[in-house]
Amino acid sequence: MTGFSGFADALDGPMYIVTAASGGRRAGCLVGFASQSSIDPPRFVVWLSTANHTYRLARAAEYLTVHLLHQEDRELAELFGGKTGDRVDKFAEVDWHPGEGGSPVLERLSTWFTGRIEARVEGGDHVGFVLAPVAVGPPAACPPAPLLRYRALRDLEPGHPA
């Protein structure tokens, strides 16, 4: 739609790393399309590109873990957004532990939750995964740092085409 790209360019939402596990394999990617979608019951939707390695694995997963990125997390954003799991084991480069359903929880990121996949919603070149939270990272001991936002990553070369 003509003109919509101007609206979308004005957005500067938070960035996330989403991880999944299925069949003994792990995957994770950088995500900019995500939001809380319900208060009661609590629900969150994360949109994964259908071109993405993580999407292909997430189709068979029961759980996804959503990690919120802060400004000091650019290095992780570059790893999970600039490399593809089709060629690189991103988890060999970071400390992590298996969470619910084996979904990887990244040790360096303190703001996260794991959600059971309740539904999948087709949305063009992305699919929305509706998540019901089942585990949440411990509360931070100090106020959280400012969030890492889309504009700070516009120069990142993606690991695969969107």
pTM of the model: 0.88
**What is residue 162's predicted lDDT score, i.e. its pLDDT?**
63
Mean pLDDT of 50-73: 95
Confidence of residue 20 (pLDDT cuts 50, 70, 90): very high
> What residues contact residue 139 under an 8 Å CB cut-off, 6+ apart?
none
Could you tell me the pLDDT band of residue 1, with boundaries at 50, 70 and 90? low
Per-residue pLDDT tens for 100-152?
Answer: 999 999 999 989 999 999 999 998 999 999 999 999 998 766 666 777 777 77
Q: Which of 77, 62, 59 is nearest to 17 (CA)?
A: 77
The confidence score (pLDDT) of residue 156 equals 73
Q: What is the pLDDT averaged over residues 26-55?
A: 95
For residue 42, give the amino acid letter: P
Alpha carbon of 13 to those of 34, 79, 85: distances in Å?
9, 19, 24
